[in-house]
Amino acid sequence: MPNKSAGRNSSCGGADDYESLVRRYEAVKRRIEARRQRIEALMLRFAQQRAEVERIAKLEEILERRRNRIEARNIAAKNEEKALQRNGSLESISLTNASKSDRIKGRYIAVDSEDDFEWRTINGAHVPFKDGEPQNEVGRAIALSDKIKSVDENSFADAIISAKSALDKRDAWRVDANGAGHYAGSKLYTSDGGSCVAVESDGNIVSLCKMDGDATSGTDMLKYAIANGGDRLDAFGPVLYRFYAKNGFEPVSWTPFNEGYAPDGWWPGIDKAEPIIFYKYTGQNPSIGYGEFLLNTAPHIGDNGYYDAKTARDGEL
């Protein structure tokens, strides 16, 4: 005779197995849905970033066209000035006859040269000047040496913290400020007004920061670093891209912003996730704009992206 109780137990066990399978199925389905939502969020973020890069590239093209028009007008004006000078319509003032005000404003023209340079003797060195600016790195360093001085690690660490603290918080996170030990072996410089720059032993320029209100500009500090061996650096985003490109640095490689290594003071949702771009000094203004560079240069990604991009840049120096 069949065992009815055994049949009931078997039927009950089958129901439990089915319910267990349903629960597992629902759990897997939820995980898949969560992953799908994360992927969609990443795709949306990528699309937004690409749209922003394309928008910046278009703006760069517009700015480049305007810059070319301005340069063309400047060249035409200089050619006209040279023609007038050859015809005797402009007064040529010699170095020895220039007044003190003429010397300060740099208005005089060297009459014994055909290359538009006028030569000044500064601290025993003969330095070529053009449009009031020294035309070689030695000259730039000498011209700035009366307002920029070399300091020790402790003094520099205090100075860079002060300079960074004076910046708008929306900009301060881009400045690298470290303790004194980090700067051991580096060339460290501060201006009389509190601006800072450091040159590491390999020529890497770091901790460039202009103190608010300082008469010495960020460009002055950068030129001084170049004159003292700086030939490479890395920096965030489009604003610093324009600054360094204007001062003779060519972009070589880049890595996307990594929130896992976000600098102090950077806030997600408030500050932009700007890429880190690696530069080498050439002394020439690069022809490629920020957006175009990002679109045409493959990024170095992943946890080692920063060091891979740095290695790629250093390989060109």
Reduced to 3 states, what is the DSSP secondary structure of residue 188? Answer: strand
Please tell me the distance from the alpha carbon of residue 199 to that of residue 189, in angstroms, as a whole number: 9
The CATH code of domain 148-314 reads 3.40.630.30
The tens-digit pLDDT sequence of the chain (317 residues) is 455 444 445 555 667 788 888 888 888 888 898 888 888 888 888 888 888 888 887 788 787 777 777 877 777 666 655 555 544 433 333 333 333 333 333 323 333 344 566 666 655 555 666 776 666 555 556 667 678 999 999 999 999 999 999 999 889 999 999 999 999 999 999 999 999 999 999 999 999 999 999 989 999 999 999 988 999 999 999 999 999 999 999 999 999 999 989 998 999 989 999 999 999 999 888 889 999 999 999 999 998 999 999 999 999 98
Per DSSP, what are the bridge partners of residue 32? none
CATH 3.40.630.30 residue ranges for the chain:
148-314
Residue whose pair of structure tokens reads 């890497």 in the numeric block: 204
- For the chain, state the CA radius of gyration: 30
Residue 68: the pLDDT is: 74
Per DSSP, what are the bridge partners of residue 129? 118, 134
Residue 104: the pLDDT is: 31
For the chain, what is the largest distance between any 2 Cα atoms, rounded to a whole number of angstroms?
Answer: 132
pTM for this prediction? 0.60
Are the C-beta atoms of 61 and 294 separated by less than 8 Å? no
Are the C-beta atoms of 109 and 118 separated by less than 8 Å? yes
Reduced to 3 states, what is the DSSP secondary structure of residue 26? Answer: helix
Give Cα 119 to chain centroid, integer Å.
33
